[in-house]
């Protein structure tokens, strides 16, 4: 074999080796630098305080404890007068069976009637009753108005609902003074929104 042919053969071998190495490096680099797949909608987690996590977009009315940093007076348009809402406008209720500085709504009751927890020192807007807190059995601080612990009702599906009004003859929307909300006729057993809770919630405690 001539020297010229030997030189061409060696050069071809070197080029082939370099091409193979370049392809391998490109493949490895692509695998190592690929970005993680984005989370599916609703799977993003956010801090919920105390190191816990919660799924972004989770409904506040999920049968769990809820919190607020403000109590506001809201005038209703159906003869119920003025009631108290949280910072987002959800109706807040009081429970006739509660005792001084003690909530009697625990266990399954608290899944339907969600205790409203204090986020810092709650501010007030148009509320005259004394705002305070009680410590529940789990150590959480529940907001009180005129001594009555406050709750949100799971059957209220949108801001402005009052589906819990008069439930069981013991649950009533709270007034800015901490009393029971009543209609202009003096009764307190009607549902202010006129809407009934979803049939899928029938059978839930207190529903």
pLDDT band at 101 (very low <50, low <70, confident <90, very high): confident
Read off the pLDDT of residues 21-80 as tens digits, 9 standing for 90 and up: 554 544 444 444 343 333 333 322 222 333 333 332 333 334 467 999 999 999 998 788
164-206 pLDDT per residue, tens: 999 999 999 999 999 999 876 555 544 433 333 333 344 444 5
For residues 74 and 81, give the distance between their C-alpha atoms in angstroms, rounded to a whole number: 8
Neighbours of 155 (CB within 10 A): 24
Ranges of each domain in the chain: 59-201
Residues in CB range of 141: below 8 A, 6 or more apart: 117, 118, 133, 134, 135
pLDDT score of 170: 97
Strands 113-125 and 66-75: parallel
Closest CA to 69 of 129, 148, 133, 114: 133
Q: Which of 97-101, 152-156, 189-193 has the lowest mean pLDDT?
A: 189-193
């Amino acid at each position: 074999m001539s020297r010229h042919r030997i030189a061409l053969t060696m050069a071809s071998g070197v080029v082939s080796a370099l091409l193979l190495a370049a392809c391998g490096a490109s493949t490895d680099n692509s695998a190592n630098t690929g970005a993680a797949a984005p989370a599916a909608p609703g799977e993003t987690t956010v801090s919920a305080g105390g190191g816990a996590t919660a799924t972004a977009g989770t409904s506040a009315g999920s049968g769990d404890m809820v919190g607020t940093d403000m109590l506001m007076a809201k005038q209703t348009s159906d003869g119920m007068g003025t009631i108290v809402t949280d910072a987002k406008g959800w109706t807040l209720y009081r429970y006739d069976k509660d005792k001084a500085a003690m909530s009697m709504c625990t266990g399954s009751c608290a899944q339907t009637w969600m205790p409203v927890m204090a986020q810092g020192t709650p501010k007030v807007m148009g509320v005259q009753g004394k705002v305070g807190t009680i410590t529940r059995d789990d150590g959480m601080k529940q907001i009180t108005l005129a001594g009555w612990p406050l709750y949100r009702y799971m059957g209220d599906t949108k801001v402005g609902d009052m589906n819990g009004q008069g439930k069981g003859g013991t649950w009533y929307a709270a007034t800015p003074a901490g009393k029971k909300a009543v209609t202009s006729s003096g009764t307190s057993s009607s549902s202010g929104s006129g809407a009934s809770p979803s049939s899928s919630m029938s059978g839930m405690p207190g529903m």
